[in-house]
Structure 1
C-alpha cells in the first residue's frame, strides 16, 4: 500500500493553494473556483497551518447563518482543529481517518510544515489503481502467466 508521500509525488498538480485567515470568504471562494478545489489550507504569515476552509464551511457557516461573503474573514468560518497526516502514513490509515471523521481533505504536515493536501478523490483514485493492478496480477496467475 502506498504512502502519503508517494501519492503526493504522483499528483499532477504539485502546488499547494492556501489562504490567509484575514482574507475574506469571498476571496476564498474565488480561489477555490479558480483552482477547482473544494478546500484551502489556512496559513499564517509564517506559513504555519492554522485552519482549513471548505465549501462545506461556507454553506454551513455563511449561507445558513446569513453572513456576508464580502465582509466575513476566513478565520470566522474556518475549521481550526485541523486533522493532519504525516507523509509516512499509508492510504488505508487516511481512508479510515476520513471515513471516521467525515473529512474530504487532509493536510499533510512534515516537520511542522504544510507539504501537501490530499482529497478523498486522490485516495479513491489510488485505491482503484491498486485494486486494478491486483486483479490483473491474479488473472495472470490464474492463466499461468
Structure 2
C-alpha cells in the first residue's frame, strides 16, 4: 500500500500558502496561477488554516462580500484535517470521504511538508489497481 510520502516523492513537496491577513483576492489569484483548489494558510511556519475554492464560493460570493476587503482569516477553515507522511492512500481516502474534504496538508513533526488532493489519491489508487491487474494477468497467462 502506497503511503503519502511516496505520493509527495512523485508529485513534489511544494506547498502554496497565503497569510491569514492577506485579502481573499490574493488567495484566489494564487490558486488560479498555480492551478490548485486550496492553499495552506500560514502564520510564519505555523499552519493556522486552509482556504479553498469552496470557502470562497460559500463565504464570499454567496454572501456578497468583497474579495479585496475580506481577509483570508475570515473565510478559512481553522479545524484542518492533516495527515502524516506515513499515512496510507486508503486512510487518506477514508478521511476525505468521511470529512467531506478534498485537500489534506501533510505534517511531519508539526511542519507542513506537502499537500495532497483527492485527485492525487484517486490517481494513486488507479495506478495500484492497474499493477494488480497486470500481475494477475501475468500469473494467469504464465
TM-score range, shorter chain: over 0.9
Residue 70 of structure 1: aligned partner: 68
- State how far apart, in whole Å, the 1-side matches of 2:42 and 2:74 are: 14
- State how far apart, in whole Å, the 2-side matches of 1:86 and 1:4 are: 7
CA offset at residue 133 of structure 1? 0.4
Taking the TM superposition and a 5 Å limit, the aligned residue runs for 1:37-48 are 37-45=36-44, 47-48=45-46
Taking the TM superposition and a 5 Å limit, the aligned residue runs for 1:92-103 are 92-103=90-101
- State how far apart, in whole Å, the 1-side matches of 2:69 and 2:114 are: 29
Residue 135 of structure 2: aligned partner: 137
- State how far apart, in whole Å, the 2-side matches of 1:7 and 1:33 are: 23
> In the alignment, does 2:108 pair up with 1:113?
no
Please tell me whether the aligned partners of residues 13 and 113 of structure 2 are also in contact (alpha carbons under 8 angstroms): no
CA offset at residue 16 of structure 1? 1.1
Residue 18 of structure 1: aligned partner: 17
SS of corresponding position for 1:103? coil
Unaligned runs of 5+ in 2: none
- State how far apart, in whole Å, the 2-side matches of 1:76 and 1:69 are: 11
CA offset at residue 26 of structure 1? 0.1
- State how far apart, in whole Å, the 1-side matches of 2:96 and 2:17 are: 21
| CA deviations over 1:88-143 (Å, ceiling 9, x no partner) | 11000000000011110000001110000000000000000000000000000000
Unaligned runs of 5+ in 1: none
Normalised to the residue count of structure 1, the TM-score between the two structures is 0.96
- State how far apart, in whole Å, the 2-side matches of 1:81 and 1:102 are: 13
CA offset at residue 14 of structure 1? 3.3
Following superposition, which runs of at least 4 residues in structure 1 exceed 6 angstroms of deviation? none
CA offset at residue 68 of structure 1? 0.3
